[in-house]
Chain A
Amino acid sequence: MIDTELKVTPALAAEHGLSPDEFARVRKILGRDPNITELGIFSVMWSEHCSYKSSKVHLKRLPTRGALVVQGPGENAGVVDIGGGWVAAFKIESHNHPSFVEPFQGAATGVGGILRDIFTMGARPIAVLDSLRFGPITEGQGASHAEVARNRRILDGVVRGIGFYGNCFGVPTVGGEVAFEPCYSANPLVNALALGVARRDELFFARARGVGNPVIYVGAKTGRDGIHGASLLASAEFTEESQQKRPNVQVGDPFLEKLLLEACLEAMHTGAVVAIQDMGAAGLTCSTCEMASRGATGIEIDLALVPQRETGMSPYEIMLSESQERMLLVAEAGREEEVLRVFRKWELDAVVIGRVTPGGLLRVLDHGRAVAEIPAHPLAEEGPVYSRPLAPPARSAREESLVSFAAEGADLTANFTKLLAAPAIASKRWIVQQYDHMVRTNTVVPPGAGDAAVVRVKETGRGLALAVDGNGRWCQLDPRAGAMHAVAEAARNVACVGARPIAATNCLNFGNPEKPEIMWQFSQAIDGIAEACRALSTPITGGNVSFYNETLGRAIYPTPAVGVLGLLESDAHALSMAFRAPGDAILLLDGAGPAPAGAPDLAAMCREFSSGEYARTIHSLVAGAPPAIDLAAEKRLIDLLAALAPQGLLHSAHDLSDGGLAVALAESGFASFFSTAALGADVSLDSTAPAEWSLFNERGARAVVTAPHAALAAIERFAAQYQVGLRTLGSVTQGTFRIRSNGREVVSSPADALRASWAGSLESALSAR
């Protein structure tokens, strides 16, 4: 007999975020009214965050299979084969709302959560990347002083939080990306990606097995923090009262998580662990019912046995707590002592709180008295699924204003210098030096040195490359094309460091899915990701959806962040973006082919150019359409770069993205600063297109590479074989930066002057009071 202290009414169900239909479904599954604890359990499991009820029907369209995929979506992380008997587990996840309410702890626990997802699989985390979005951190273009000050505080808290957690835990934060748009002022994005490695035959899964096996709770004690983090914080829009949700944000302890990591890996090695799942969103509720559901068993636990941080917690609170650094595992009956001994060694709580049972029921007791009895499978897997209405947003009838190009021969040096200082393009050193990016001594390409981060796998001698990319502005203008660009850019970045892209993970940040135009954006973006992932052979192995990124009814730009993992046969093949020697030839590789069709017509150019970083920074304009995308061209370029890497012919490689060719050249020069003096470039662009277009357009499928002249013939042969266009633009120089377009000099500056603009911009914005 289940006790019902508080009468559950439809009104109370509505307060828990359950619709009348969903409440009816709960009653049907149970065959009766739920009690308050059961209502709480259903409300978190069926929240958007945990159930994917609005996204499920669309996510099915993503390609998830591939020759190297060991585990696709549905487990704690995706797993791919990286050779030599080893696998990589990786996944990206959002922690957006907590990071707005409490930036430091929100970001810190975001990192903590994704790390647990990785070591739950039996993999040791070896790298973290972050994809971050904030509102403007410099005044002007409509950003007020107060707004800018708040955005700086949020960024500062997020960066400190990420560093606090990763640095102490001992995982290097090796890269990522950050962008700034007004739409993120009241809803910043914090997406954390973690990568781990394990022996292929030592992977663990979250599937309860073996009736009678003990269920063991390990790690931190349960407190009242984070209750309803998943349902009320992550699955609703922000309103004026949202700051009152601070108690819903969890508090992180990276030291405890480090102990948990070591203890879990050691316990797994005893051979006595049958299954394991971390307690993240929806805590004990999610871990018990998902393990039971996946294993087609039941689970019975007694809450009186759960280690508790405070007294007087109700079953409702214990089941819904999102206290961090906790794990639930199933051990082999009779061998529990082997497991408990390991956790005692690491001075962590470890308690048998229940058993695996037959029959598929999640049964929760409190001092032996039943407080919840729910069939696990319907709870975990048979939640509501919605095909929500879709509708493209109405385009405003008035004619869009687009950029017009500067007159032929105009000096673009000043604009170029200003562009390099734009926060999206400027040096991120102020951020990355607050992250330990070297711990574990595997970081071959550190943040900022290459297009992707590269970490070696000591055990196999191979290298893993990771990049995460997304362009919310382009997705706002065209979600399908924008999402395709996100995949293409991440894959291109991975190829530029010499790796072959093998798999992807995605974090889909969108507004309120109950609005048809948001759902349309989502559906379009899924189609774009699916098409690009198929074309580039990077199946999606996992990820996360974050809806309700809205404040006071205004949504963020649709922002899919795509992480692509690449494999290098040897970590010695890794290539940085830095120019290496004066006199080296600068080449432009163009996947569009040996004889590109030429520049598009002027109207198309204006439309595309209006959506780029140059238009935004110089003309305060966000309009037009993303660049046309050619996935076959992207694939050719990627294949060529991956084939060139082991040849050792190239000295540097850098793809063209924000700010186009001119910015790519400058960044390669700046990256040389730490090994040699700042190197420059002397290049000539022979095109009849406007100079601004030639310098700053952001079309994909292109990369700037450098090589010694002796290597040019061999590189040309490779390019011809892969049908990639190759043009010699000029050469690497010492100290000056010159670009000619159509025979006229359009940029001329000492490299140091350009570097000063780029290097100091973020720091001066963020150290300002």
Chain B
Amino acid sequence: MKFGVVVFPGSNCDHDTQHAMGAVLARPVELIWHQSEDLAGCDAILLPGGFAYGDYLRTGAIARFSPVMRAVTKFANSGGLVLGICNGFQVLLESGLLPGAVLRNSGLRFVCEHVYIRVERTDTPFTSAARPGQVLKIPIAHSDGNYFCDHATLRDLERNRQILFRYVSPDGREAPEWNPNGALAAIAGVINRQGNVAGLMPHPERAAEAHLGSADGLVILRSLVDTLSRREQSAAVAERVPA
């Protein structure tokens, strides 16, 4: 298995994501330049946090037009695993690979702090290592993380179980004081209908080592590793079985 971390001009969590996958989880990981339309044979693509193209115009609005996003879109449409973190999530929203948009935080300020998110479903490649309803302590760091969509989209998201993470209290309760940015329905992350593209505002790669405050982010990153391992195993089995 191989992970690809996309580097846009202005990405600043690319090294951190590479460190979490490579040094902490000991998986092969490669940086992919934004001008490249070649995903270098990666099995999962991570869009990291930062300020792609300076977040000029709107967060993620310019990044969606970069050559690499053409490749990522093709990869996603053919079932490839794509995870967008923070700015990467914003790029996926702008690209239309995920529904909805983000607004300026309700407090109108940048917020960097640990928050608690509840895993809303565990039958996805991004959450398979989580217990149902598990609460994860993971930091956020953004000015524009206030998730928003229209009523019809929200209804669809709920009906199709596309809300992947919600901001909650440490004991798993939804409450306004535990929603750090005013996100609609306390949405911290969503998944597409096909279940292969997900994005979230919190930074799992920053919660990958306990002595930096939390290792709960590994639940998400390990889910990806487990999913790819299972796929590799079943592919190997398929190869051994004579046609």
A→B interface (CB under 8 Å): 160, 163, 167-170, 253-256, 258-259, 346-347, 432-444, 446, 458, 571-572, 674
A-B pairs with beta carbons under 8 Å apart, 12 shown: A170-B12, A253-B54, A255-B10, A255-B51, A259-B10, A434-B109, A438-B112, A438-B139, A439-B13, A439-B49, A444-B211, A572-B211
B212 is an interface residue with CB less than 8 A from chain A: yes
In the complex, A444→B49 CA distance in Å? 20
Q: Is the CB of A443 within 8 A of B212?
A: yes
Q: How far is the CA of A169 from the CA of B12 in the complex (A)?
A: 7
Assess whether B50 is in contact with A170, with CB atoms less than 8 Å apart. Answer: yes
- Answer yes or no: B178 CB below 8 A from chain A CBs: no
B56 smallest CB distance to A (angstroms):
7
Q: How far is the CB of B231 from chain A (nearest CB, A)?
A: 28
Could you say which of B109, B206, B211 contacts A438, with CB atoms under 8 Å apart?
B206
Chain A residues, CB < 8 A from B110: 163, 167, 434-436
Question: Is B20's beta carbon under 8 Å from chain A?
Answer: yes
Of chain B, the residue at the smallest CB distance from A173 is B112
Residue of A nearest to B143 (CB): A167
The chain A residue sitting closest to B14, CB to CB, is A170
A439 with B12: in contact, given A255-B54, A458-B19 (CB under 8 Å)? yes
CA distance A256 to B112 in the complex (A): 23
CB-based contact B206/A255 at 8 Å: no
Contact of A167 among B141, B209, B212 (CB under 8 A): B141
Partner pick for B209 among A160, A258, A440, A441, CB 8 A cutoff: A441
B30 within 8 Å of A (CB atoms) = no
Which residues of chain A come closer than 8 Å to B239, judged between CB atoms? Answer: none
Given A163-B110, A439-B16, A441-B209, 5 extra CB contacts under 8 A: A160-B109, A256-B54, A258-B9, A347-B9, A440-B15
Could you say which residues of chain A place their CB within 8 Å of the CB of B9? Answer: 255, 258-259, 346-347
Task: Report which residue of A160, A258, A436 has the largest number of chain B beta carbons within 10 angstroms of its beta carbon.
Answer: A436
Q: Are A433 and B211 in touch, CB under 8 angstroms? A: no
Cα A446 to Cα B9 in complex, Å, equals 27
B67 CB within 8 Å of chain A: no
Residues on B with beta carbons closer than 8 Å to the beta carbon of A444: 211-212
A259 to B209, CA, bound (A): 28
Question: Would A441 and B16 count as touching, CB distance under 8 A?
Answer: yes
Query: In whole angstroms, what is the CA distance A160 to B107 when docked?
Result: 13
Cβ-neighbour of B54 out of A163, A168, A441 (below 8 A): A168
Report whether B112 and A258 are in contact in the complex, using a CB–CB cutoff of 8 Å.
no
- A434 surroundings in chain B (CB, below 8 A): 109-112
Q: Is B75 an interface residue (CB 8 A)?
A: no
B53-83 interface with A by 8 A CB criterion: 53-56
The answer, among A253, A436, A440, for a CB contact under 8 Å with B112, is A436
B residues near A446, Cβ cutoff 8 Å: 213
Which B residues fall within an 8 A CB radius of A?
Answer: 9-10, 12-13, 15-16, 19-20, 23, 49-51, 53-56, 109-114, 139, 141, 203, 205-206, 208-209, 211-213
**What residue in chain B is nearest A262 (Cβ atoms)?**
B9
Q: A168-B10, A255-B10 are in contact. Are A441 and B206 (CB under 8 A)?
A: yes
Q: Chain A residues with Cβ under 8 A from B51's Cβ?
A: 167-168, 170, 254-255, 258
- Shortest Cβ distance from residue A130 to the other chain B in the assembled complex, whole angstroms: 15
B211 and A168 contacting across the interface, CB-CB below 8 Å: no
Question: B residues within 8 A CB of A168?
Answer: 10, 12, 51, 54-55
Q: Are B141 and A438 in contact (CB under 8 A)?
A: yes
**A571 to B211, Cβ gap below 8 A?**
yes
> Closest Cβ of chain A: how far from B214's Cβ, in Å?
10
Q: How far is the CA of A255 from the CA of B16 in the complex (A)?
A: 18
Question: Which has the most chain B C-beta neighbours within 10 Å: A167, A347, A435?
Answer: A167
Q: A346-B9, A347-B9, A433-B111 are in contact. Are A255 and B53 (CB under 8 A)?
A: yes
Q: Compute how far the CA of A134 lies from the CA of B20 in the bound complex, rounded to whole angstroms.
A: 40
Cα separation A674 to B56 with both chains bound (whole Å): 35
Partner among A259, A432, A436, A441 whose Cβ is within 8 Å of the Cβ of B212:
A441
Question: Nearest B residue to A429 by beta-carbon distance?
Answer: B113
Q: How far is the CB of B138 from chain A (nearest CB, A)?
A: 11
Q: Which residues of A contact B54 (CB under 8 A)?
A: 168, 253-256
Q: Which 6 residue pairs of A and B lie closest in terms of their CB atoms, listed nearest first?
A: A170-B12, A255-B54, A436-B141, A441-B16, A168-B51, A436-B112
Min CB gap A157→B, angstroms: 13
Residues in B whose Cβ lies below 8 Å from that of A674: 114
CA distance A441 to B14 in the complex (A): 11
Chain B: minimal CB distance from A569 (Å)? 15
Task: Give Cα distance in the complex from A442 to B19, angstroms.
Answer: 11
In Å, the complex CA distance between A169 and B54 comes to 9
The smallest C-beta distance from B206 to any residue of chain A, in angstroms, reads 5
Q: Which of A169, A437, A438, A443 has the most CB of B within 10 A?
A: A438
Q: When chains A and B are docked, how far (Å) is the Cα of A446 from the Cα of B139?
A: 12
How far apart sit A440 and B141, CA to CA, in the bound complex (Å)?
12
Closest beta carbon of chain B to A254's beta carbon, Å:
8
Q: Which of A163, A253, A255, A572 has the most CB of B within 10 A?
A: A255
In the bound complex, residues from chain A placing their C-beta under 8 Å from that of B114 are: 674
Give A432 to B113 CA distance when docked, in angstroms: 9
Contact at B112–A437, with CB atoms within 8 Å?
Answer: yes
The chain B residue sitting closest to A167, CB to CB, is: B110
State A474–B159 Cα separation when bound (angstroms).
Answer: 64
CA distance A656 to B211 in the complex (A): 26
List B contacts of A258 (CB < 8 A): 9-10, 12, 51
Among residues of A, the one whose C-beta sits closest to the C-beta of B50 is: A170
Q: For B141, what are the chain A residues with a Cβ–Cβ distance below 8 Å?
A: 167, 436, 438-439
Rounded to whole angstroms, the CA-CA distance of A438 and B213 in the bound complex is 10
A-side contacts of B113, CB under 8 Å: 433
Hey, which chain B residues are within 8 Å of A439, CB to CB? 12-13, 16, 49, 141, 206
Determine the residue in chain B with the shortest Cβ distance to A674.
Answer: B114
- B211 contacts A440, CB within 8 Å? no
Tell me, in angstroms, the Cα distance from A253 to B109 when the chains sit together: 19
Q: Give the complex CA separation of A434 and B107 in angstroms.
A: 11
Chain A nearest CB from B39 CB (Å) reads 19
Given A439-B12, A441-B20, A571-B211, also A255-B205 (CB < 8 A): no
Cα distance A434–B14 in the bound complex, in angstroms:
21
**Hey, which chain B residues are within 8 Å of A441, CB to CB?**
16, 19-20, 205-206, 208-209, 212
A433 touches B112 (CB 8 A): yes
Write out the residue numbers on chain B whose beta carbons fall within 8 Å of the beta carbon of A571. Answer: 211
Complex formed: what's the CA distance from A515 to B114 in Å? 50
Q: How far is A178 from B209 in the complex, measured between Cα atoms in Å?
A: 30
Distance to closest chain B CB from A198 (angstroms): 15
Measured CB to CB, the nearest residue on chain A to B54 is: A255
How long is the Cα–Cα vector from A169 to B111 in the complex, in angstroms?
A: 16
Chain A contacts of B15 at CB under 8 A?
440
Complex-state Cα separation, A168 to B55, whole angstroms: 9
The smallest C-beta distance from A515 to any residue of chain B, in angstroms, reads 41
Residues from chain A with a CB closer than 8 A to the CB of B211 are 444, 571-572
Q: Which residues in A have their C-beta under 8 angstroms from that of B205?
A: 441
Complex interface: chain B residues within 8 A of A256 (CB): 54
User: What is the bound-complex CA distance between A439 and B50, given in angstroms?
Assistant: 9
For residue A258, give the distance in angstroms from its CB to the closest CB of chain B. Answer: 6
Which chain A residue has the least Cβ–Cβ distance from B35? A345
Q: Which residues of B contact A160 (CB under 8 A)?
A: 109
Complex: A347 Cα to B53 Cα, angstroms: 11
Minimal Cβ-Cβ distance residue in A for B7: A262
Q: Distance (Å) between the CB of A158 and the closest chain B CB?
A: 14
Residues in B with CB closer than 8 Å to A433 are: 111-113
